[in-house]
Amino acid sequence: MIRRFLEKPGSVDIAPFERTVAAAGALADRARDLSLEELREMAAANVGSAEFCAAVREVADRTLGERPFDVQLVGTLAMLSGNVVEMATGEGKTLAGALAAAGFALRGKSVHAISVNDYLARRDAEWMAPFYTAMNLTVGWIAEASTAEERRAAYACDITYANVSEIGFDLLRDRLATDPEATVQPVPQVALVDEADSVLVDEARVPLVLAGATDAGAAVPEMAALVRRLSRGYHFELDDEGRNVFLTAKGTDTVESALGISLYDHPGTVTEVNLALHAHALLVRDVDYIVRDGRVQLVNPSRGRVAQLQRWPDGLQAAVEAKEKLAPSDTGEILDSITIQGLLTRYPEICGMTGTAVAVGENLREFYQLKVAVIAPNRPCVREDEPDRIYPSLIDKELALADEIVAQHATGRPILIGTLDVAESESLAKELRSRGLEPVVLNAKNDAEEAAIIARAGELGALTVSTQMAGRGTDIRLGSPEVAELGGLLVIGTGRHPSSRLDDQLRGRSGRQGDPGRSVFFVSGEDDLLKAYLPEETLPKAEKDGRIRDKQAAYLVGHAQRIAEGVNTEIHRNTWRYTRVLEEQRTRLLDHRDRILYGDAGAEALRDARPERYQELVEQSSEEAVAAAARQIVLFHLDRCWTDHLGYFADLREGIHLRALGRLSPIDEFNREALPAYRKLLEEIEKRSTASFDALDLSAPLAEQGMKRPSATWTYLVSENPFGSDWDRVLRRVSSALRGRKKG
Ligand code: ADP
Ligand code: MG
């Protein structure tokens, strides 16, 4: 009881799991004498029991050569009970997760083991395959390049490893199928999520998009040229958190005289100016994106790597392309979309694992009703985490940082330096080179060499400068006993991240499995984190050696980070408020769709609505031919109307703040509109379907009867939507700037 009292709210009492695992220890000798067949029976008889633990441990030991530690089995049991486990980096979550996946599969469920990239999905599936095979379970994996056939085969396995976006894109593509045979993904049952905080929280609000039919993107080079001439502080201002940019009254005047129009009367132009300004002032090349092969490639803010297939909402994407003077990329109509949170909440059972779960315990509870089970390391972590070294200015910090790196490198100790963005990794590498060192740089620009760079990062004398790419899933082993004697891997952060979890993931590259190691972060009063979230505060005075040791400074740094985390949660919450309604409607509509696709609901509906017409058509051909045509007709209009509905919602969402200037809260107003819109959607599907049915010519293809489906579709992820909760704030500022000017 006391233990439960002391535990954080939302965390799970793991004592029962520990007792089960302790009991499993006593069964080890018995298990050792059993055949695989007998072990399988022992495990399957009572998944989650001591017998289960003893059996899977024995099978893993025989097939993988790794005998699961007690803590791994405790993690397995906590996952089997539907929790997110926190186990430090290097503790062997891959194996603990595989044992849990086997447990779910033995209970008759199919499991989607969700990873954060294709490389890890394949690595884990192939690594764990001998264990699954011995358990008589099948395992498959999916990568971006997998064909529909390969995907179908992988999903047919008991356990399927895949990146979250692949699973989402398959869902979206399936949802357009007009033939049951063409789908690849079965009904979701269990999601077992690796790096759970990253997927379930950081990426939760990212929409996965399915688009179709092409036309060229809106060209806005004039706007890009115009805003390039504006200066910050005079023509435009950023808000305190640096998330929004808005024109000042002066800026509005300048824009208006340059364009020769009144912005007040041209809301469309206001949007274009805002997009151009956003691209100009808030999105920084080599921080938020890189330009490679003549294309803008987004950098994932929490992973530091190029976010493949990811783009901003169309207007903003075009604005950034115009800013970089690139040709606009294709845009298309959004046929369907789902957020990662919407994707994951479809699974009746979710569990997960990560090195950093406790810090998002509240979010996991709020958004997924998940609890966190904290599992102690197998061997105590002996890494020393130094307090931050804090300096007044950026220059002081950079000098001290370079001095420290030079001094530590001279001892031969391997050093991993984590920077906050691509530009910083490059400028630091340059500084180090000017001091005669030869750092290896790992960032979004050379991600192809990743595995090789990481493999050497723990060797004697290694000096690696990396963005957060080295942050998750990577295994840095110490190169030699000599390295351990030097104190192991030294991790240096060049600044605190906007989330303590990212700091902890970086630290976690050192001190794996009881290895020695050390970590330290360098911070300055001019760091973005402090400037953005505590703009009013100044740090206490530095001591003679240039460092600030006053406790207040450390407090302020932590405080700024907590504010940043709070802001992110609030944005997540707000986005979810808007997307939830839509995703509920989507689920309901797709239920109908499934009954049409897999059953005869389409034919029944049209027969009920038009009995005579139905009979007439049957006499012309056959019952089957009419049912098949009816199915295609209803599916076509359902999909078409849903696309329109999405467009309506997007407009509604963008326009809602204007109504909010009245009395109603935007979300209430939004919800009030959503339900009637859905009813109208259903009516519209029925109306259009019956009209098509009336006019149906069974001898001609439907495509020639106004029911042409998009010829090509493609998928992408939308990067953090700057128009989310912040969009209304942007516009409110613009409109207040306008109002101020009108009055003046
Ligand atoms: P995590 O995902 O928790 O960071 P990994 O699953 O990548 O950790 O495993 C880290 C390392 O620990 C791997 O090299 C793996 O082979 C090793 N490992 C995991 N479990 C065991 C075990 N029971 N015995 C020995 N080595 C193990
Ligand atoms: Mg891992």
Out of 91, 127, 506, give the residue to mutate to test ligand 1, the one with the largest number of ligand atoms within 8 Å of its CB.
91
How is residue 720 annotated by DSSP? Answer: S
113 C-alpha to ligand 1 centroid (Å): 17
124 C-alpha to ligand 2 centroid (Å): 9
**Does the beta carbon of 94 lie inside 6 Å of ligand 1?**
yes
Nearest bound ligand to the CA of residue 128: 1
Coil, strand, or helix at residue 199?
helix
**Does the beta carbon of 131 lie inside 6 Å of ligand 1?**
no
Distance CA 355, CA 475 (A): 13
Confidence (pLDDT) at 10? 67
Q: Which residue has the tokens 């985390």?
A: 565
384-565 CATH fold = Rossmann fold (3.40.50)
User: Residues with Cβ < 8 Å from 389, sequence gap 6 or more?
Assistant: 400, 520, 521, 522, 523, 547
69 C-alpha to ligand 1 centroid (Å): 10
Annotated binding site for ATP: 72, 90-94, 475
**Does the beta carbon of 92 lie inside 6 Å of ligand 1?**
yes
Confidence (pLDDT) at 301? 67
Find out whether 100 and 79 touch, Cβ atoms under 8 Å: yes
Distance CA 164, CA 156 (A): 17
Q: What are 240's two structure tokens?
A: 């305190």
How is residue 712 annotated by DSSP? Answer: -
Confidence (pLDDT) at 378? 93
Nearest bound ligand to the CA of residue 195: 2
Beta strands (DSSP E) in 396-462 are: 415-418, 440-442
> Nearest C-alpha to atom 19 of ligand 1 is from which residue?
92
Atom of ligand 1 nearest to the CA of 508: 4
Atom of ligand 1 nearest to the CA of 93: 3
How is residue 511 annotated by DSSP? Answer: S
Find out whether 216 and 328 touch, Cβ atoms under 8 Å: yes
> Nearest C-alpha to atom 13 of ligand 1 is from which residue?
92
Confidence (pLDDT) at 725? 35
**Does the beta carbon of 392 lie inside 6 Å of ligand 1?**
no
**Does the beta carbon of 644 lie inside 6 Å of ligand 1?**
no
89 C-alpha to ligand 2 centroid (Å): 7
**Does the beta carbon of 488 lie inside 6 Å of ligand 1?**
no
Distance CA 742, CA 744 (A): 5
Atom of ligand 1 nearest to the CA of 91: 3
Strand order of the β-sheet with 349-354 is 139-142, 159-163, 111-115, 190-194, 349-354, 84-86, 372-374
Nearest bound ligand to the CA of residue 96: 1
**Does the beta carbon of 435 lie inside 6 Å of ligand 1?**
no
**Size of the chain, expressed as the number of residues it contains:** 744
**Does the beta carbon of 68 lie inside 6 Å of ligand 1?**
yes
In Å, how far from its chain's centre is CA 153?
26
Strand 517-524 to 440-442 pairing:
unpaired
Distance CA 629, CA 600 (A): 11
280 C-alpha to ligand 2 centroid (Å): 37
Consecutive 10-residue runs of the chain (744 residues): their mean pLDDT? 55 95 97 97 97 98 98 98 95 97 98 90 95 98 93 98 94 91 94 95 87 56 87 87 82 90 79 86 87 82 66 77 84 83 96 94 94 94 96 95 97 94 89 95 74 85 84 79 95 94 91 93 95 90 95 96 89 84 92 93 94 95 94 95 86 64 70 90 95 93 85 69 37 37 34
How is residue 309 annotated by DSSP? Answer: T
| CATH number 3.40.50.300 given to 2-211+340-374 | yes
Distance CA 702, CA 459 (A): 65
Q: What are 410's two structure tokens?
A: 């001279």
The H or E element containing residue 463 is strand 463-466
Confidence (pLDDT) at 657? 57
Distance CA 591, CA 14 (A): 38
Coil, strand, or helix at residue 663?
coil
What residues form DSSP beta bridges with 237? Answer: 246
Using DSSP, how many helices (H) and how many strands (E) does the chain show?
A: 29, 22
Distance CA 250, CA 237 (A): 11
Cα atoms found within 13 Å of the Cα of residue 126, Cβ hemisphere only: 8
296 C-alpha to ligand 1 centroid (Å): 37
> Nearest C-alpha to atom 26 of ligand 1 is from which residue?
66
Confidence (pLDDT) at 209? 85
Closest by CA position to 356, among listed 503, 553, 165, 248: 503
**Does the beta carbon of 66 lie inside 6 Å of ligand 1?**
yes
User: Residues with Cβ < 8 Å from 483, sequence gap 6 or more?
Assistant: 413, 414, 458, 459, 460, 489
89 C-alpha to ligand 1 centroid (Å): 9
User: Residues with Cβ < 8 Å from 18, sequence gap 6 or more?
Assistant: 70, 74
Q: pTM of the full predicted structure?
A: 0.82
**Does the beta carbon of 354 lie inside 6 Å of ligand 1?**
no
Distance CA 197, CA 120 (A): 16
**Does the beta carbon of 93 lie inside 6 Å of ligand 1?**
yes
Task: Give Dmax over CA atoms of the chain in angstroms.
Answer: 97
For the chain, give every residue range classified as CATH 3.40.50.300.
Answer: 2-211+340-374, 384-565
How is residue 327 annotated by DSSP? Answer: P
DSSP 126-178: HHHHHHHHHTT--EEEE-TT--HHHHHHHHTSSEEEEEHHHHHHHHHHHTT-S
User: Residues with Cβ < 8 Å from 582, sequence gap 6 or more?
Assistant: 646, 649, 674
33 C-alpha to ligand 2 centroid (Å): 32
**Does the beta carbon of 419 lie inside 6 Å of ligand 1?**
no
Confidence (pLDDT) at 724? 36
Question: What are the phi and psi torsion angles at 600 (to 5°)?
Answer: -115, 25
From residue 262, alpha-carbon distances to 251, 254, 736, 738 in Å are 13, 11, 15, 10
**Does the beta carbon of 509 lie inside 6 Å of ligand 1?**
no
295 C-alpha to ligand 2 centroid (Å): 32
Out of 67, 71, 94, give the residue to mutate to test ligand 1, the one with the largest number of ligand atoms within 8 Å of its CB.
94
217-329 CATH fold = Pre-protein croslinking domain of SecA (3.90.1440)
Atom of ligand 1 nearest to the CA of 88: 3
From residue 278, alpha-carbon distances to 256, 259, 283, 318, 330 in Å are 18, 18, 7, 12, 20
> Nearest C-alpha to atom 12 of ligand 1 is from which residue?
92
Confidence (pLDDT) at 38? 97
Closest by CA position to 98, among listed 119, 116, 80: 80
What residues form DSSP beta bridges with 521? Answer: 493
Q: Which string of b and e fits 619-637 if b means at least 16 CB within 10 Å?
A: eeeeeeebbbbbbbbbbbb
User: Residues with Cβ < 8 Å from 108, sequence gap 6 or more?
Assistant: none
Confidence (pLDDT) at 216? 41
Strand 295-298 to 289-292 pairing:
antiparallel
Confidence (pLDDT) at 575? 81
309 C-alpha to ligand 2 centroid (Å): 23
For the chain, give every residue range classified as CATH 3.90.1440.10.
Answer: 217-329
Closest by CA position to 400, among listed 541, 545, 525: 545
